[in-house]
Amino acid sequence: MRDLPPAAAGIRLVVSDIDGTLVRDDKSLADETRAAIRRARAAGIAFTLISARPPSGLGEIAAKVEITDEPIGAFNGGALSRRDGTVIGSHRIPEREARQAVEMLDAAGVLVWVFADGQWLAREDADASPHGPRERLASGLAPTTVASFDDALARADKISGVSDDHPLMRRLEAEVAAAIGEAATVVRSQVYFLDVTAKSANKGDGVAFLAETMGVPLHAVAVLGDMPNDVPMFARAGLSVAMGQAPEEVRREAMLVAPTNEENGVARFLDALVAVQAAARRLV
């Protein structure tokens, strides 16, 4: 990557989305990316993660990128945790809005999954869904089959609608947000996932909390992402980077576009950032 903006010289913290950004489509993390994160840290640039994943899905990837005590954002920032899964603080969906979201998703005929009490709840065989096995890998959880979500909706951290009808998911995003968006965050985290979380569980507030916890002003934070749920943090950070395969609606909200996640775009950005800062120091 070339032609980073002047703000790049002052970046002290990089916050990256995981799925579709840090990892490749098969959920693997490239050695090139791990090495680039080490080089960035050696240059004085801190690195951490924010994701729609639950806290249970962050520990393994956090270990691979050598996060130690840095806070990590789960549930789109609705839960801040440590690498060992210890939750620092969390926000849940109000029960009324949780029930309304499930009713609307059911009416649309999409699968519904509920994440509550550290569990992934499904009313059907989640592994039969095309996205079930990958959700096992991403969340670090096995699905728990229940007859009803009723007992969990007062404590829901995230509700996901799941469908490969991408136009339907885009329409549902607008409809569910119009119905409950005053009290909850409604946004697609993948083209096939529509996530409902607490109102403050959005990546804009999440990255602000991460930056504050780490003592870094937002103008010195760079963020990377690929989906609409990443756009709120684009608006808050000093430097925003969309992945090359991101939808056009996401890319136009970012200051920069990196190569795709399959091309290890995070590594390419980090190395460019380190080079810009090294060049700036030589001029002093």
Question: How many Cβ atoms sit within 10 Å of the Cβ of residue 284?
Answer: 4
The tokens for 38 are 């080490």
**Model pTM greater than 0.95?**
no
Q: Which stretches within the chain are classed as H helix?
A: 31-42, 59-64, 95-108, 132-139, 166-180, 203-213, 231-234, 248-251, 265-283
pLDDT one digit per residue (tens) for the chain, 284 residues: 778 988 899 999 999 999 999 999 999 999 999 999 999 999 999 999 999 999 888 989 999 999 998 999 999 988 888 887 777 888 899 999 999 999 999 999 999 999 999 999 999 999 889 999 999 988 999 999 999 999 999 999 999 999 999 999 999 999 999 999 999 999 999 999 999 999 988 999 999 999 998 999 999 999 999 999 999 999 999 999 999 999 999 999 999 999 999 999 999 999 999 999 998 888 76
The tokens for 16 are 């990256």
